[in-house]
Structure 1
Amino acid sequence: MFVSYKWLEDYVELNGISAEELAEKITRSGIEVEGVEHPGDGISGVVVGHVLECEQHPNADKLNKCLVDLGEDAPVQIICGAPNVAKGQKVAVAKVGAVLPGNFKIKRAKLRGEESNGMICSLQELGIESKLVAKEYTEGIFVFPNGVEPGADALVQLNIDDRILELGLTPNRSDCLSMLGVAYEVAAILGKSVTLPSIEKNSSSEKATDYISVKVEETEDNPLYIAKVIKNIQVGPSPLWMQTRLMAAGIRPHNNVVDITNYILLEYGQPLHAFDYDRLGSKEIVVRKARPNEKMVTLDDVERELSTDHLVITNGNEPVALAGVMGGANSEVQKDTVTVLLESAYFKGQTVRNASKDHGLRSEASARFEKGVDPNRIQEAADRASQLMAEYAGGEVLSGEAIVNEMHIEPAVVSTSLTKINKVLGTDISLDKVQEIFNRLQFETSIDGEEIIVTVPTRRGDITIEEDLIEEVARLYGYDNLPKTLPTGAATPGGLTPYQSKRRTVRRFLEGAGLNQAVTYSLTSSDKAVQYALDVRTPVKLSMPMSEERSFLRLSILPQLLEVVSYNLARQNDSIALFELGATFLNNGEGELPEEEEHLAGALTGNWHLHSWQAEKKAMDFFVAKGVLEGLFEKLGLQQSIAYRAVNMDGMHPGRTAEIILNGDAIGFIGQVHPNVQKALDLKETYVFEMKVAPLFTAEVPALAYDPIPRFPSITRDIALVVDQSVSAGKIEDTIIKSGGKLLKDVRVFDLYEGEHMEPGKKSVAFSLKYYDPEKTLTDEEVVKAHEIVLAAVKEETGAELRG
């Protein structure tokens, strides 16, 4: 909820308290103010100008030369390119020396040979979002009503000098979805009274019931429906003060009739709807459930297929509105509308929510009906809107209204006691203080012995039990004033479980290695839910998804990480290294909750080393990704238990993908994303990994052992082995290790050759073998003997021959 500070002053005396101070007080009383926006900060030198003359620029077809009165000694010449600028307009002008949003300074300039002494501004150039600007001004400058004087401060006229408080409301505080609701809250905090809008009813010789009748078939869903009729309407712009208040609250102005209904929605929290009476097509309103296969076109020009669960407003024949959600295009108020039928009603929140969800329509009106509106404001809101239409649209309000009223809502009566309040809060508050708090909230109270009986107004539907009353006392007494106590009893020190400790170790290691942690959606589409799954199962579908794109629980983290990589690349963030440690969800069958399985996934693309003055750049490749994982496995003490095995996987490069094997079991994979997938997502070469973490965290780790620093020299032997291309280097390395005996301490691959000097189907793999004995200096004979055993075993196991 966006709250205008200047608008709030209409209802409550703020006595000069700043918007920031007020925000702090509101937050301390239990409603979080997420921020205070100053729309006019950084803007200066903008005034109202009167365009005295306007003619085409002599040297440019799309520019106009304007003579503008700024309320100073002499008018100035300004060159303007707006298509809608014209003689006689009152416009916003940034004078020479003015500053606009973004620290844009206005200087005297020459445009195509003609001097320009300022800038005629659009609302967007003054910092107002395009979506909040009335449609007639979205492509040009803003034109003031003729009542403003040249030289007046344009920021004041446009209400840009206001302060906007953004309230972060919890669902129970729907009373503050209106300016009056916020006024009651602020008045209680400051100990002030609330000044309500005055409503004057104009008498008319004609009755509304002569024009319209109302019938409600579903009184449980719609217990109260009021229809008022306003004749002789003149549709046009609403007054500037109303437009600026709507824009400050995040609503675009349209015309005086629609703007008044939106203004009342913000003021009273009561949604209204205006029908064009002459386009209604009948003299009756019938509220009913939609018929099977019935359709209607809503105000957004979308044809909606209705179900029998949807409540609709009809003209007795066809729907003219989806109750509480959106009106129909067939009865929309237009420029030629002369008679308005005004609807003010109470719709059941669940009914509105179901229709809103089914059609994907979320509106300011539906949000308020879902959370609950004050039934005692429905008539007042209709009367206030009628009065404003008479005042600002020239309308004549017909006497009375057509009404169906089956509403039976009484104020809640809740009781508590001073003893209970002080016991729960740990305070020693007096009875007078408690009564004073309830009086500030404008709750009626009476005392019966120890019992405090409170009659709660219908605007506070969130207060239904004794604990709610105690909370009201606590927050207005001041949470900071509640006494502080330390817990008693024996305390036990906290700590991490081994599993939690290893999870933290993984995060710290990967962050230290240069990867950024990502947190992506657990919900995805049906196609992406099964991509890269380690355990292929039918994905779990949500019964009430937010959208089709977020309707299934994921089986793999990688599809979401690749979306993040694609998003960043599209914004010229070229070198990306991400990881996520999160849950995947395995289907356990119909009626069973899914099993959560924690996975670790990563995605790397671009450069691993940047091209600095010290070194050449290094692109991400398979071995960079593999090196990160090997460092992680070493950190976890599992480097001796991990192996890799080539594998083919859907969505992965067929020659650059390997399974990750832990103690003989596959726990994940690493490799390059398939070129076709990269192309579809606009990715460069991208390397990924994903694995289950439970086996990593629960695997037995050998006890930490230390070897003394060798006192005797080691001997290194390098061998180049020619083998079939199908033989993996890993297999050769395993054979060397198994046959090397106790003298062989280290084996590393350092070269691979496949070229013109090699037989077809063959390759050369070079290894470096290190031998040493911790007890003595090795002789050549001992090394040769051990080395020959290795060569014989390699030849027997893999068919390898020494390269000549």
Structure 2
Amino acid sequence: MFVSYKWLQDYIDLTGVSADELAEKITKSGIEVEGVDVLNEGIKGVVIGHVLEREQHPNADKLSKCLVDVGEEQPVQIICGAPNVAQGQKVAVAKVGAVLPGNFKIKRAKLRGEESNGMICSLTELGMEGKVVPKEYSEGIFVFPADAEVGTDALALLGRDDEVLELSLTPNRADCLSMLGVAYEVAAILDREVKFPETNQEPTAEKATDYVKIVVDAQEDNPLYVAKMIKNVKIGPSPLWMQARLMSAGIRPHNNVVDITNYILLEYGQPLHAFDYDRLGSKEILVRRAVDGEKFVTLDNVERTLTAEHLVITNGTEPVALAGVMGGANSEVTSDTTTVLLESAYFNGGTVRKASKDHGLRSEASARFEKGVDPNRVRAAGERAAYLMAKYAGGEVLDGAAETDTLTVEPAVVSITLEKINRVLGTELQMRDVKEIFDRLQFTVSIEGDLITVTAPTRRGDIRIEEDLVEEVARLYGYDNIPKTLPIGSSTPGKLSEYQKKRREVRQYLEGAGLYQAVTYSLTSEEKAAQFALEKRDTIRLAMPMSEERSILRLSILPQLLEVVKYNSARQNDSLAVYETGAVFLANGAEVLPEEKEHVAAVVTGLWHSHLWQGEKKPVDFFVVKGILEGMFAKLGLSEQVEYVQAQVDGMHPGRTAEIRLNGEKIGFIGQVHPSVQKELDLKDTYVFELSLKAVLEANAPVLQYEAIPRFPSITRDIALVVNKETVSGTMKNIIIEAGAPLLKEAQVFDLYEGDKMEAGKKSIAFALKYANPERTLTDEEVTKVHERVLEALKEKAGAVLRG
């Protein structure tokens, strides 16, 4: 809701309260003010000018040479490109030295050889949005009324010397969707009186009921319908002050009658509609549900197909308006209209919402009906509009109104004790304090002992229960004034569990290693659900899936991560590393809830390092991804408990995949995606891992042991061993470490040879062994003895012999 500070002063005295101070007070009372927009900020030097002469520019077909009186001693020459500029007009002129929005400064200039001393401005050039500029001036300059005084501030006449508060209203505060509603709120905050607008006028001898009869078939949808009749109206532009207020609120002016209905919408929060009585074609207004398939052309000249769920206003036979949403093209007010039927009604919010949604016609009127209008303001709004039409459209208001009224809305009556108010708020308010607050809100209050009974006006439809009254007292008393207290009783300070700490460490480590976190759907398709699953179980299907692509709970995270990489690769982001920690869902039978287990998975593809200046490119391979995992296990203190064993996994490369074991138990796998899967996804070589994060984080890491830095030198021996091709280096390393203990400290593979100089079925693996004793320097004899024991163990257990 946009609230004009100057307009608000029509209803309440704001002396001593600036717009910014008012915004702060409203925010502190519970309605957030998102900002205060100063409409003329940064603009100066714009005045009313009178075009004395206008002639064609001698050197340009689309330019005019104008002589303009700007209130100075001599008129000035201004070159103007607007197509609608003409002699005799009153226009907005930015004089030399003026500043327009965007810090655009006006200087003397020559345009096609002719001097220009200023600029004749359109409304958009003065900072107004194009969508609110009257249509007749949307392609040119704005023409002021003939009585506009030359040389005066043009921005003041346009209402731009104003500040607009933008209220962010919650759905329960529909009462503030009007200037009067905001005035009530501000009056309560400032403890001041609300001034009501003028509505009295002298009606004619003729009665409205002689011209129209109201019949309502759908009384649940429309319990109150009031029609005022105004004769002899003269269609023309509305007063400039009214146009300015509408534009500041984001509504485009049309003509005096339509503008008045929109003005009342903003002033009272009550939507109105004006029909051209002579085009109705009957003396009856029938409100009914539409017939399925019934056609109707709305004001935007679009033919709408209606259903029985839509409420329509008809002339007895055919629709003339979609109730609460939009009028019909067959009864709109035009420049020839002389008699207006003014509708002011109470429509059911749900019915209006249905029509608005079905036809995509969200409007200021429909929004107010949906949230709820004040039923006791329906007639008053109609009377106010009729008053303005008599004043600004020369109309004659007929006596009374034609109406149908079956509305029974009673004000809400809620009782509460002073003790409960103080107990909930933690305050020590006295009865007089609480009564004063309700009096400022203009709620009717009666007090019996400690019991307070409040009758809330119908404009406050949000007041229903005791807690609503507590909220009203709290916000008007001031949230800042409520005492601060600590909870009573024992409490445990919040902290992360050990599991949560470790999970956070894993995420931070993977991101530090260069992987991006992804969050993918837990729902997938039947085809992908079981791919790469660590545990093979039945899939779990949703009872009511949104689509087949999202119908099964996943057993693995990898299929979704591969889709992420595929999506990025298709957009030329083909070097990518992503990971996800999330749940997979394992079935436990038809009548048992599934088991959730947390997994961690990653996908890496493309280049791992790229230093083009140095000519260095390192594509991802198995050992890059394995190194990432080893770093993670090291951070968790599990390095010694993890081993990698060659394995076969569906969808993975048969020779580049390993099973990951923790303390001998399988927890996941690592490797390259099978070439056929890569081809199907249009990916380069892609490496992945997935493991049970639950198993990793719940594993007990050994107590950290610190060792002194060795004081004595170590001895290194290299051995090249010939073994069968099927022999795994990890097995050999375990044999070496076991046989060489305790002097053997390290064993690392540094070479593999399978060339033509090796006999068929054999390979050569070279290890670097490091021996050391922390207490003394080793002798060659000691090392040789242990080294021979290692070679003997390799021969017995792995069939390995030294390469000659």
With normalisation by structure 2, the TM-score equals: 0.77
Unaligned runs of at least 5 residues, structure 2: 739-743, 757-762
| Equivalence for 2:381 | 381
Residue 172 of structure 1 deviates from its aligned partner by 1.7
Counterpart of 1:496?
496
- Counting aligned pairs with the same residue, the percent is 58
Distance 1:94 1:560 in 2: 60
The answer to whether structure 1 residue 255 and structure 2 residue 265 are counterparts is no
- Residue in 2 that maps onto 1:355: 355
CA distance in 2, matches of 1:185, 1:203: 33
Instruction: Give the Cα separation in 2 of the matches to 1:330 and 1:594.
Output: 61
Distance change (3 Å), C-alpha of 1:446 and 1:787: same
Give runs of aligned pairs for residues 313-324 of structure 1, distance below 5 A.
313-324=313-324
CA contact (8 A) 1:526 1:539 kept: no
> What's the offset of the Cα at 1:185?
0.8
Q: Write the distance in 2 (CA, Å) between the matches of 1:787 and 1:335.
A: 108
Instruction: State the alpha-carbon separation in 2 of the partners of residues 283 and 668 from structure 1.
Output: 82
Distance, in Å, in 2 between the alignment partners of 1:152 and 1:604 is 70
Partner of 2:112 in structure 1?
A: 112
Question: C-alpha deviations, 1:684-732, integer Å up to 9, x for none?
Answer: 999999979864775536436557566655869899x9x99xx9xxx98
Deviation at 1:138, TM superposition (A): 3.3
CA shift at 1:203, angstroms? 1.3
In structure 2, C-alpha distance between the alignment counterparts of 1:194 and 1:112, rounded to whole Å: 57
Q: 1:293 to 1:482 in 2, by over 3 A?
A: same
Deviations 1:709-756 (A, max 9, x none): 66655869899x9x99xx9xxx98767767775669576899999xxx
- Relative distance call for 1:448 and 1:44 in structure 2 (3 A) is same
User: Match of 2:22, SS?
Assistant: helix
Alpha-carbon offset, residue 372 of structure 1: 1.4
Per-residue Cα deviation, 1:363-383 (whole angstroms, up to 9, x for no partner): 222222222111000001111
Q: 2: CA distance between counterparts of 1:593 and 1:635?
A: 35
- Alignment partner, residue 92 of structure 2: 92
**Deviation digits for residues 341-361 of structure 1 (CA, Å, limit 9, x no counterpart):** 322111222222333344444
Question: For residues 449 and 717 of structure 1, do their structure 2 counterparts lie closer, same or farther at Cα, with a shift above 3 Å needed?
Answer: same
Q: State the AA in 2 paired with 1:427.
A: T
Partner of 2:741: none
| 1:452 aligned residue | 452
State the Cα deviation string for residues 158-208 of structure 1 (Å, max 9, x = none). 222311212222222111111111101101111100001110234124333
| Contact in 2 for aligned 1:607/1:617 (Cα 8 Å) | no
For residues 618 and 271 of structure 1, the distance between their equivalents in structure 2, rounded to whole angstroms, comes to 68
Q: Report the equivalent of 1:192.
A: 192
Change (3 A) 1:312 1:64: same
Aligned to 2:702: 703
Deviation at 1:263, TM superposition (A): 1.5
Q: CA deviation at 1:268?
A: 0.8
Q: Look up the equivalent residue of 2:259 and give its one-letter code.
A: D
In angstroms, what is the RMSD of aligned CA positions?
5.6
Cα distance change, pair 472–65 in 1 and its aligned pair in 2 (3 A): same
Describe the shift of the 1:508–1:357 C-alpha distance in structure 2 as closer, same or farther (beyond 3 A). farther
| Cα shift at 1:20 | 1.4
Partner of 2:210: 210
Q: How does 1:580-619 map to 2 (within 5 A)?
A: none
- Residue deviations 1:77-100, cap 9 Å, x none? 333333333333333233222222
Aligned twin of 1:761: none
Task: Decide whether aligned partners of structure 1 residues 86 and 668 sit closer, same or farther in structure 2, where only a CA change above 3 A counts.
Answer: farther
Residues 389-398 or 783-792, more deviating = 783-792
CA contact (8 A) 2:678 2:686 kept: no
CA-CA distance at 1:223 after TM superposition: 0.8
1:773 pairs with one of 771, 774, 778: 771
Closer/same/farther in 2, CA of residues 5 and 539 from structure 1, 3 Å limit:
farther
Report matched runs for 1:114-513 at 5 Å: 114-505=114-505, 508-509=508-509
CA 1:334 to 1:437, structure 2 compared with 1: closer, same or farther past 3 Å?
same
Judge conservation of contact 1:539–1:586 (CA < 8 Å) in 2: no
Post-superposition Cα deviations, 1:259-298, rounded to whole Å, max 9, x if no partner, equal 2222211111111222333443433222222223334343
Distance of aligned partners of 1:22 and 1:694 in 2 relative to their CA distance in 1, 3 Å threshold? farther
Residues 499, 697 of structure 1: 8 Å contact kept: no
For 2:110 and 2:208, the matched residues in 1 are separated by 61
**Is contact 2:732–2:794 with CA below 8 Å preserved after alignment?**
yes
Q: Is the 8 A contact 2:247 2:253 kept in 1?
A: yes
List per-residue Cα deviations over 1:218-276 (Å, max 9, x = no partner).
21221111122333344333322222222222323333333222221111111122233
SS across alignment from 1:321: strand
With 493-502 and 700-709 compared, the bigger mean Cα shift is at 700-709
Q: Deviations over 1:83-119 (max 9, x none)?
A: 3333333332332222223333333333333333333
| Alignment CA distance shift 1:353-1:62 (3 Å) | same
1:772 counterpart SS class: strand
1:443: how far off?
Answer: 1.7
The SS at the match of 2:321 is: strand
Question: Is residue 600–residue 693 contact of structure 2 (8 Å, CA) maintained in 1?
Answer: no
**Residues 345 and 732 of structure 1: CA distance in aligned 2, closer, same or farther (over 3 Å):** farther
Shift of 1:7: 1.0
Instruction: Quote the offset at 1:770 in angstroms.
Output: 5.0
Cα distance, 1:399–1:795 mapped onto 2, change above 3 Å: farther
Q: Which amino acid aligns with 2:389?
A: M
Question: Which one is further off, 619-628 or 298-307?
Answer: 619-628
Is 1:42 paired with 2:42?
yes
Amino acid at match of 1:124: T
Give the 3 Å change call, closer, same or farther, for CA 189–514 of structure 1 in structure 2: farther
Partner of 2:759: none
Give the distance between the partners of 1:236 and 1:787, measured in 2 at CA: 108
Superposition pairs of residues 540-619 of structure 1, within 5 angstroms: none
Residue 72 of structure 1 pairs with residue 72 of structure 2: yes
**Range 582-591 or range 386-395, more displaced:** 582-591
Partners in 1 of 2:73 and 2:628 — Cα distance? 73
Secondary structure of 2:771's counterpart equals coil
Determine the structure 2 residue equivalent to 1:762: none
Structure-1 separation of matches of 2:108 and 2:478: 55
Is the 1:714–1:772 contact (alpha carbons within 8 Å) kept by the matching residues of 2?
yes
- Counterparts of 1:96 and 1:718, CA distance in 2: 92
Question: Are the counterparts in 1 of residues 203 and 396 from structure 2 also a CA contact under 8 Å?
Answer: no
2:102: which partner in 1? 102
What is the letter of the counterpart of residue 438 of structure 2?
Answer: F
**Greater shift after overlay, 409-418 or 775-784?**
775-784
> How many positions carry a matched residue from both structures?
768
2:213·2:283 contact (CA, 8 Å) conserved in 1? yes
1:408/1:616 CA distance change after superposition, 3 Å: farther
Residue 274 of structure 1 aligns to a residue whose secondary structure is: strand
Gaps of 5+ in 1: 679-683, 759-764, 797-801
User: 1:121 offset after TM fit, Å?
Assistant: 2.6
Larger radius of gyration: 2
Deviation of 1:462 (Å): 1.4
Q: What amino acid is the match of 1:162?
A: D
**TM-fit CA distance, 1:14:** 0.6
Instruction: Indicate the larger mover: 768-777 or 415-424.
Output: 768-777
> Structure 1 512/101 Cα, relative in aligned 2: closer, same or farther at 3 Å?
farther
Say whether the 8 Å CA contact 1:49–1:92 is kept in structure 2: yes
Q: In structure 2, what residue type is equivalent to 1:165? A: L
SS at match of 1:251: coil
Q: CA deviation at 1:766?
A: 13
Output the amino acid matched with 1:167: L
Q: Distance in 2 between the 1:245 and 1:445 partners?
A: 36
Rate the CA distance shift 1:218–1:103 in 2: closer, same or farther, 3 A: same
Q: CA deviation at 1:29?
A: 1.7
Question: Does the 8 A contact of 1:46 with 1:92 survive in 2?
Answer: yes
Kindly tell me: are residues 309 and 488 of structure 1, through their superposed partners in 2, closer, same or farther at Cα, counting changes over 3 Å? same
Please say if residues 276 and 333 of structure 1, whose CA atoms lie closer than 8 Å, have aligned partners that are also in contact.
Answer: yes
